[in-house]
């Protein structure tokens, strides 16, 4: 394990449950692999602009204006972080049954044809192969495996589209259903994090 990319998407920044749990997971991974380099992308502190017509046109332009060049350079930097990462840790709260819009904006800037995926005669092919992704997902209610969980299938699909198929989800659900429910949810998530860190220690 050479590089870990941690992407936090909670509106609450460092105080968010998903961020805190993601940090605990990263700490466990780094304890098992002290040589690993860490890149942190906090989408609350440094939000990625939402994709609009002008930004998308910059991606497609053959000859770019200075402003378009700046837009593409910003996207290239985000893609560079993702390409360098051997392990990706996504801290993802559920907002309105899906992913935070700031995470979607990040995805829209790193999912670029010819760089992170390409189209072939057999269909789309992801180019970011050989990576491991952990998704730390926090929810106020209980949705895992149900029809109202649009977050899990979307993230599996978009990560696979980019070539990242080794994906493990860690859930903390029921955080808004009372103190006991919240404590149990966080304990369960921390148990999963401890298991992953222990497994990494054995493999290191």
Q: Phi and psi (nearest 5°) for 197?
A: -65, -40
Model-level pTM? 0.95
CA-to-CA distance for 83 and 52, rounded, in angstroms?
24
| Cross-strand pairs, 169 | 135
Q: How many C-beta atoms lie closer than 10 Å to residue 137's C-beta?
A: 24
155 burial class (0-12, 13-18, 19+ CB within 10 angstroms)?
Answer: buried
Positions in the chain whose pLDDT score sits under 50: none
In which residue are the tokens 């940090």 written?
23
3-203: CATH homologous superfamily?
A: Flavodoxin domain (3.40.50.360)
Q: What is the pLDDT of residue 200?
A: 84
Determine the pLDDT at residue 203.
63
Count of CB atoms within 10 A of residue 74's CB? Answer: 15
In the chain, alpha helices (H): 17-32, 53-60, 66-84, 101-110, 151-161, 179-203
What is the model's pLDDT at position 102?
A: 97
* DSSP annotation of 25: H
Task: Count how many Cα atoms sit within 13 Å of the Cα of residue 105 in the half-sphere of its side chain.
Answer: 18
- In the chain, domain spans: 3-203
């Amino acid at each position: 394990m050479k590089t870990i990319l941690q992407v936090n998407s909670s509106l609450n920044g460092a105080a968010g449950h998903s961020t805190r749990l993601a940090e605990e997971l990263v700490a466990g991974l780094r304890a098992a692999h002290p040589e690993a380099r860490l890149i942190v992308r906090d989408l609350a502190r440094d939000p990625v602009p939402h994709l609009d017509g002008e930004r998308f046109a910059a991606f497609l332009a053959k000859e770019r204006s200075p402003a378009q060049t700046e837009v593409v350079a910003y996207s290239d930097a985000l893609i560079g972080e993702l390409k360098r990462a051997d392990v990706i840790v996504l801290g993802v709260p559920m907002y309105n049954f899906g992913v935070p819009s700031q995470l979607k904006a990040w995805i829209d800037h790193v999912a670029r044809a010819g760089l992170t995926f390409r189209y072939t005669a057999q269909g789309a092919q992801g180019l970011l192969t050989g990576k491991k992704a952990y998704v730390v997902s926090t929810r106020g209610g209980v949705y895992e495996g149900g029809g109202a969980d649009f977050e899990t299938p979307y993230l599996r699909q978009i990560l696979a589209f980019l070539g990242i198929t080794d994906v493990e989800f860690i859930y903390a659900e029921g955080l808004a259903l009372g103190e006991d429910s919240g404590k149990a949810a966080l304990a369960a998530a921390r148990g999963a994090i401890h298991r992953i860190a222990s497994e990494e220690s054995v493999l290191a």
